[in-house]
Structure 1
């Protein structure tokens, strides 16, 4: 199996805990979404009509962002506030009417087989709590203005998936065939007429992740809705959301990466200025350490000199657990250790943090910086790239406040 930069350990069970709470906040710098600039709000698409419209920003029918505050004031993100990102239009809602009848083909094992969700439910159930984050979360903060949705912080959430571990399925089917280097998931979206088969949603990740991966049928204790990949989704904890395949129809262990365009030329860390993304550029896989502040608000009118202000936010580190979070009130010149608060839901989940401070009258730039248990530290600056992927810059995510 492929050796990963941050080697995964066996999956941990987690309990459903926490709720989201509504707050609003603005980012430092000139980057704003059309919504923040006062454009008329778009309506929610029918397949996501259950979303809490008051906390969501609808960029398009297939891209819906959660406003910054509601994303992080709970240990779990509620399903009606979780972001939506689809690379193709979702299939018919008929597929979630009888979820146990959905089948997935397992290939690249000694005894390949198609299994229904009903059969998967007999093979051992586990839950994992993890951060689901779009690869382009934070793209709207790139001065280069890459093409694609200008996400700020709201294309992320912390949620609990329940299903069967892929390792259980593999064991039941005799193990992985020799020479298989990748785990490749194929989605069940219907390609429009005339579209190349290479436009299918199919992603390959290093095969070693099968030890943590899940074939999930529940999200936060309820059946996965169509908007989030129901009736069955391949979950790859610690990796960006595009690698957790919705409506999964096939899970295959393969010798080579998929030839789909979403694998070969999309979601690559191609340097800015290149004419196109290239298969030789690093693939967008694991998430680096990242954190941001959700409160206090930029523009808040209730901040008074000498009164206590509690800085709060969330932090996560991909496949690694969070070790500590530091907060700066002076734009990164000095740092103070924040307290990790709320439940620890496992190494793939985010941790809430808070730091009480007393501030004199003036202007402040608040920033947060997470360190994981392996010593990896959230970077100060973004990695410039053509697609605007993996923005984990603490400076980009800083916020400004004024104290009277």
Structure 2
């Protein structure tokens, strides 16, 4: 006899569930628990962009469905959008756009984009850019902020100069410990205060993959994505990758701009009770992002032809400052796992593409579960852990529901 709950689920799905016996107690099929459409979102309508899922219009924030991230190098059209303020006017002459480096330096600099490209070595690197709130939708109870699933991630080919080279040209003082970043994006209130101003430890600023970027995938950066000059700080929260960059303030202490302190881009040093109000007094900065993976070959909710017995799977995985050492997939609700093949990153801080194949015994409803393990042995958990009020660093394994027949 079919259990009542299972019968109800199969009726709702319009399909049998071949591996229902392995469905963990209390777990609802992903296609019923997490519909294809993101509640409250609508498709982005923006020149040159794909139909991303808009979470907010003021400021504009839009997520890329995993199936649109099937490129080894993310196109500008498919890149997620995360703003904290308004979008500034486009400059008449992008090459004349200037920014300053000041504070704890021997010789403050004011440089145009043209001067940057002429004076310093220009490099191109594939780099992760990920919102600190990626995965927020999986925290329970719900946390504040945009309900990102797994698609606030990109891996573009960014061209620019190393921030390290510019800081060395300015001459860092011994007191240099932190940076503070400023951009031209206006505050939504119309006030003169920055929409966001975050900073990082000087060691990350001096990392060889931290760039002052002015091109994306061989073209000028689209204005929506921070042209004519932006920071790219890979592997750490994307809020550090200041768009429309105007200033880098080198400081002798942690930066205290909008978006720093309290619970902003900070996580509990020790677990707290989910749902608990907290001022973040003993939180720590979210720096290297946690291990995560996506499935890009098959969209969540896809229906495949009857008789499909083999799935060729592919996706991407990444782990902040670390690398991925294992990628696994399950077709039977985690009862068994298969290792997938995965590539080494194109360069440090690029994501890693993975591929593999699974067999299906019959038509019906399946969930492809996918999880990555980082180079220090941490694996994506079944459920989001370390709940925090703003929902950072949730990295549960992926669950994609598919219908066969």
* 1:3 corresponding residue in structure 2: none
CA distance in 2, matches of 1:306, 1:58: 33
Deviation sequence 1:101-147 (CA, Å, 0-9, x none): 11111122221111111111121111221121111122222332222
CA distance in 1, matches of 2:105, 2:253: 15
Counterpart contact for 1:292–1:398, Cα < 8 Å:
no
* 1:81 corresponding residue in structure 2: 78
* 2:179 corresponding residue in structure 1: 183
1:98 to 88, 93, 96: 93
* 2:225 corresponding residue in structure 1: 228
Does 1:242 pair with 2:239?
Answer: yes
Does 1:330 pair with 2:325?
Answer: no
Deviation sequence 1:337-363 (CA, Å, 0-9, x none): 10125x842231122212212111254
Q: How far did 1:31 drift?
A: 3.6
* 2:23 corresponding residue in structure 1: none
Does 1:390 pair with 2:393?
Answer: yes
* 1:166 corresponding residue in structure 2: 163
Quickly say closer, same or farther: Cα 1:328–1:247, change in 2 above 3 A. same
* 2:357 corresponding residue in structure 1: 356
Q: How far did 1:259 drift?
A: 1.8
Give matches, 1:4-403, under 5 Å. 28=31, 30-32=33-35, 35-36=37-38, 41=42, 44=45, 48-52=46-50, 55-61=51-57, 62-71=60-69, 73-93=70-90, 95=91, 97-107=92-102, 108-121=104-117, 122-174=119-171, 176-191=172-187, 195=191, 197=193, 199-209=194-204, 210-212=206-208, 213-265=210-262, 266-269=264-267, 271=272, 272-278=274-280, 280-304=282-306, 307-340=309-342, 344-361=345-362, 362-383=364-385, 384-394=387-397, 397-403=398-404
Q: How far did 1:307 drift?
A: 2.4
Q: Highest Rg: 1 or 2?
A: 2
Q: How far did 1:69 drift?
A: 0.7
Quickly say closer, same or farther: Cα 1:29–1:106, change in 2 above 3 A. farther
CA distance in 1, matches of 2:337, 2:114: 52
CA distance in 2, matches of 1:317, 1:120: 30
Deviation sequence 1:289-308 (CA, Å, 0-9, x none): 11122333444442545722
* 2:14 corresponding residue in structure 1: none
CA distance in 1, matches of 2:234, 2:38: 31
CA distance in 2, matches of 1:224, 1:365: 37
Q: How far did 1:333 drift?
A: 2.6
CA distance in 1, matches of 2:43, 2:71: 26
Quickly say closer, same or farther: Cα 1:263–1:118, change in 2 above 3 A. same
Deviation sequence 1:23-64 (CA, Å, 0-9, x none): xxx95562448x446x784653xxx43212xx3122333111
TM-score by length of 1: 0.82
**Structure 2: gaps of 5 or more residues:** 1-28
Give the root-mean-square deviation of aligned CA atoms.
2.5
Deviation sequence 1:282-328 (CA, Å, 0-9, x none): 22222111112233344444254572211222111111222231112
Aligned residues: 364
**Structure 1: gaps of 5 or more residues:** 1-25
Q: How far did 1:68 drift?
A: 2.3
Structure 2 counterpart SS, 1:249 = strand
TM-score by length of 2: 0.82
Q: How far did 1:262 drift?
A: 0.7
